[in-house]
Chains A and B, each alone.
Chain A
Amino acid sequence: MFSQTFAMPAHGEPILSLRFVNKSYGNVRAVRDFSLEIPRGCIYGFLGPNGAGKTTTIRSIMNIILPDSGEVLFANSPLNATLRDRIGYLPEERGLYRKMKCVEQLAYLAQLKSIPRREALKRAEKWLERLDLADWKQHKMDALSKGMQQKVQFAATFIFSPDLVILDEPFTGLDPLNIELLREIILLERDRGTTTIFSTHMLAEAEKICDAICLIEGGVKILDGTLDSVRQQFPMHSVHVAYADGSEPPAKLPQVSQRKFEDGVWRLTMVEGSDPQQLLGQLAKIGALSYFSANRPSLSEIFLTAVKRSRDEHAGGAGEDSPTISALEGEI
């Protein structure tokens, strides 16, 4: 019934646009001249380390904080209360009414998104079934485990069939089984036409599920685009290597920009244009290799390279308050 009140953009056209959004807290500029277009029907990764400005941007979209300047467009119209009823939001700070029954809780939150009560109750039952919580519908939230509460909250985000959902760190505190369940639901909802913004600092998580991404650091957009186009922008290799005797690859190699030990192998992010074949020769001289592979770079490698590149461009303009690259490495 709402689709009649505004024209939904076609698949792939921007459903949500941010134009020059700014927000400061005191002297801290949390978000700077932030512009973004999110195409309809995709899963969009909103990526960056903790404190990059992701949550502030999302809160500006949801009208929880008012940006200092800039505008947010939904389906080409300035975002207002009616249009916000088409957006589902799972905040990073989770919480539900502790003394309310599951089914009541879901129905109430659906009603607050303009679903009539009768319909809201029906949907609440359906969603609880879908999430294996049918036996718990008459229980108060207090009685549920943390994981179950998270699932109820997840259902609350989707229950009113939103056109866009914003999930802020949705998988924190969930076991792998539930993560898999929720991932399935996100993909199913995408196939139904729902656009998803998936905000996280866990880049590996995002890489598995996103169609397009935007990388944020220090309140500034570093890069954005589809996953493929981002990879094309960084035509470099990531070499994974391990030595039989546990030796380390040299810390300083001219063709390697970053070195990181993870899951028993050394991950060497190569400088663009350098040849993995030639690196192999060099590494083999150090000791007996037990493992060698040349891969496309992971998102976190791209992210760190991009941050470095943008800082080189603005030579010293990043300011003293921005974290060092090695500090960022620990975060993502």
Chain B
Amino acid sequence: MRKTLTVIRKEYLERVRSKSFLISTIIGPVIMSLIVILPALLAESGGEEARTVGVIDPSGQYLEPLQQALIAQEDEHITLLPINVEGLPIADGISDLKEMILNESVHSGVVIDQEFTETRQVTFYNKSVSALVMLDNHLRPALNRVLRESRFEQAGVPDSLHTFLAAASDWTSIAVTAEGEEEEQNEAVSFIMAFSLILIIYLMVIMYGSHTLTAVIEEKASRIVEVLLASISPENLMFGKVMGIGLAGLTQFSIWTATILILSFQGVAIGSVSLDITFLSPVILVSFIMFFLLGFFLYATIYAGVGAMCNTVQDSQQFHTPIVMGLVLPMLMLGFVLRSPDSTLSVVLSLIPLFAPVLMFIRVCVQTPPLWQIVLSWALLVLAIWGSSRAAGKLFRLGILMHGASPTWVTLMRALRS
């Protein structure tokens, strides 16, 4: 036991004291916030880039209200460029507009029908798909407003009623939890939080799980392994390594979490994504910690076993892909599980130890499954960790005798069976 502690201490300090630890501790949150927040920021500011839209308005009465409507929508980045077609056939104006779009002097073009108030007809000319986003988010609502206003006017609706009649439905979204409580939630925020938590589990497994692989290979490459095995059993050595590396990872993530918590208590909001930790109910928090740890230990011991069989990092490449598949597959299934978290297939998939850290956790986030399922998935994970760490120790002992030869799947299987 004391020897295992010695190994844990050494592996932990070696990592925490390294320069790369310091660097990744600082850079990690930057990258993570980019991954999480950037899409949100981009989605919001989608058209923030200045755009010029050519407008053909033969009646001459819609251009001004459209300009007003865009300003009311805070869409100042869209500039309207009137294309004068007075006295000319509209077709000429349109061909001019097309040419301007092609030579990029305007981003896109709108042709408003002469009798727009009656016909509601607008034609949109564009070159790129991105223009359609602008159409939906900015031009369409603005022109709808213009249409509404002009019809109100036509029908003689008094100004005081305009706002009243233009009202849109107001939505509140409530999540019903197992305890029967109702809580108001911001769906986008919960999803982003759940997604970031999964991302943290993911990062932990990939970054630190593969650390155990390189750490074990280093031991073999530097040939210190025989001295070590003369002093400590391979099982204890493996356990110590995985624990030490895991604790180093945990330290890093604690630093990150603390930073996030401090920021969120300060009420810092990034974009419109406020860091809302109220989403972290006790159930989610506990299962996050459990899946975080168990997921790491499972993959770390698998990585360690692979490392035990290989002499160089290159040797290990061929085994890398299947392990990463174990992590990628649940991401592909994520959509399905999100849509029907209670289906038999979802339940079965989320109980498989390799997938559980992602799939069972997302189920906990979206719709808390029965307690027995969560506990069962933990039990299965513990069982899988026990099995893979035993196998890793066994492979470590056998791997010593395999200097020189690159391992293949066949030798790996034979070694495990013996």
Residue positions of A touching B, CB distance < 8 A = 25, 59, 62-66, 81, 84-85, 87, 89-91, 93-100, 108-109, 111-114, 117, 153, 156
Contacts and interface: CB of A to CB of B under 8 A. Distances in A.
Given A64-B400, A108-B6, A114-B2, A91 B233 contact: no
B77 interface: no
Contacts of A85: 231
B231 A109 contact: yes
A89 B226 contact: yes
Contacts of A99: 14
B401 A65 contact: yes
A150 B310 CA distance: 25
Contacts of A62: 226, 229-230
Interface string B217-241: 0100011111111111100000000
B127 interface: no
Contacts of A64: 226, 229-230, 397, 400
5 nearest interchain CB pairs?
A95-B223, A112-B231, A91-B226, A89-B230, A95-B222
Interface in B16-72: none
B3 interface: yes
Contacts of B233: 63, 81
A98 B403 CA distance: 19
A109 B227 CA distance: 8
Contacts of A84: 230-231
Interface in B315-338: none
A112 B6 contact: yes
B10 interface: yes
A26 to B, nearest CB: 11
B10 A108 contact: yes
A95 to B, nearest CB: 3
Interface string B376-404: 00000000000000000000010011010
A98 B224 CA distance: 10
B292 to A, nearest CB: 28
A91 B227 contact: yes
20 contacts: A62-B229, A63-B229, A63-B230, A64-B230, A64-B397, A64-B400, A65-B400, A84-B231, A85-B231, A91-B230, A95-B223, A95-B224, A96-B222, A96-B224, A108-B10, A109-B231, A111-B3, A112-B3, A112-B7, A153-B227
A61 to B, nearest CB: 9
Nearest to A141: B222
Nearest to B226: A91
Contacts of B232: 112
Nearest to A156: B227
Interface string B104-146: 0000000000000000000000000000000000000000000
Given A91-B227, A112-B231, A97 B3 contact: no
A292 B378 CA distance: 83
A63 B3 CA distance: 17
B229 A114 contact: no
Nearest to A90: B227
A117 B3 CA distance: 11
A269 B212 CA distance: 57
B5 to A, nearest CB: 9
A114 B230 contact: no
A108 B403 CA distance: 25
A51 to B, nearest CB: 14
Interface in B231-281: 231-233
Q: For A85, A94, A112, which residue has the most chain B Cβ atoms within 10 angstroms?
A: A112
Nearest to B401: A65
Given A62-B229, A95-B225, A112-B3, 9 more contacts: A25-B401, A59-B226, A64-B226, A64-B230, A89-B227, A91-B230, A96-B222, A108-B6, A112-B6
B230 A97 contact: no
A67 to B, nearest CB: 13
A101 to B, nearest CB: 11
A62 B229 CA distance: 8
A97 B229 contact: no
Nearest to A166: B230
Contacts of A100: 14
Contact of B222 (A63, A90, A91, A98): A98
Interface in B183-239: 218, 222-233
